[in-house]
């Protein structure tokens, strides 16, 4: 059964490396080739929820400590994301138009985008300190609109969850902004 995810208009940098692979790599192959900085970024996401809960039950001091550690972790992840993004030097770098837990769209007139072509991806959400390394497949490439749809095919579950979390946080930000604009326009009326 294919899962359905909502997508949101989101401009995020992505490096798309065209491969000559004829089959999607399996998760063990992906696991062996994930660059070290991507592994570190994933491992440092936040304190384990069980640890967080255990520490917070000891009182406010520990609760503040957990919040402080998570804050530092966010800052370290932002720096790691920045470093990883700088490593790609603009080679095959695109900006997403929309993103979802299933994949994303970009605009490109490149003839390299052919349906069913397997691509290696480095997707960045700099404002959230998230960097994802995975594989995808060109689902469609419309030469008229130049819209290219790429579906994630080999992605760790934790990375898909991080994509979904970034998209959800961004959607919440948009909704909050829209509510504020609506409230401001009501006040001015």
Q: What is the pLDDT of residue 47?
A: 47
The pLDDT-based confidence of 77 (bands split at 50, 70, 90) is low
**φ, ψ dihedrals at 145, nearest 5°:** -85, -15
With a cut of 80, say whether residue 84 has pLDDT above it: no
The pLDDT-based confidence of 185 (bands split at 50, 70, 90) is confident
Each residue of 23-34: pLDDT tens digit?
999 999 998 998
With a cut of 90, say whether residue 20 has pLDDT above it: yes
- Outline where the chain has alpha helix (H): 27-33, 36-43, 49-56, 60-87, 157-188
Mean pLDDT of 96-113: 94
DSSP letter, residue 139 = E
Q: What is the pLDDT of residue 1?
A: 43
DSSP letter, residue 129 = T
Q: What is the pLDDT of residue 168?
A: 92
Mean pLDDT of 156-183: 89
pTM recorded for the entire structure = 0.77
Q: What is the pLDDT of residue 37?
A: 72
Letter string b/e over residues 110-136, b meaning 16 or more CB atoms within 10 A of that residue's CB: eeebeeebbbbbbbbbeebbbbbbbbb
User: What is the residue-averaged pLDDT of the chain?
Assistant: 82
End-to-end Cα distance, the chain: 49
DSSP letter, residue 120 = E
Q: Which of 40-49, 90-99, 159-168 has the lowest mean pLDDT?
A: 40-49
Each residue of 119-144: pLDDT tens digit?
999 998 888 888 899 999 999 999 89
Please state, in angstroms and as integers, the Cα–Cα distance from residue 5 to each residue in 10, 58, 69, 83, following that order: 14, 38, 31, 29
Q: What is the pLDDT of residue 142?
A: 93
The pLDDT-based confidence of 70 (bands split at 50, 70, 90) is low
Rounded to an integer, what distance in angstroms lies between the CA atom of residue 160 and that of residue 144?
30
């Amino acid at each position: 059964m294919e899962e359905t995810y909502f997508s949101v208009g989101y401009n995020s940098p992505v490096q798309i490396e065209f491969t000559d692979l004829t089959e999607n790599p399996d998760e063990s192959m992906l696991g062996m080739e994930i660059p070290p900085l991507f592994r570190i970024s994933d491992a440092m996401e936040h304190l384990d929820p069980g640890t967080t809960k255990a520490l917070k039950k000891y009182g406010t001091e520990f609760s503040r400590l957990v919040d402080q550690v998570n804050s530092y972790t966010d800052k370290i992840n932002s720096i790691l994301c920045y470093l990883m993004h700088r490593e790609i030097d603009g080679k095959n770098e695109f900006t997403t138009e929309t993103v979802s837990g299933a994949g994303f769209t970009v605009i490109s007139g490149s003839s390299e985008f052919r349906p069913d072509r397997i691509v290696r991806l480095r997707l960045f959400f700099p404002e959230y300190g998230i960097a994802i390394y995975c594989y995808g497949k060109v689902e469609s490439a419309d030469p008229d609109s130049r819209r290219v749809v790429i579906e994630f095919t080999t992605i760790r579950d934790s990375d898909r969850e991080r994509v979904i979390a970034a998209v959800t946080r961004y959607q919440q930000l948009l909704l909050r902004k829209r509510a504020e604009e609506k409230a401001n326009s009501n006040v001015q009326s």
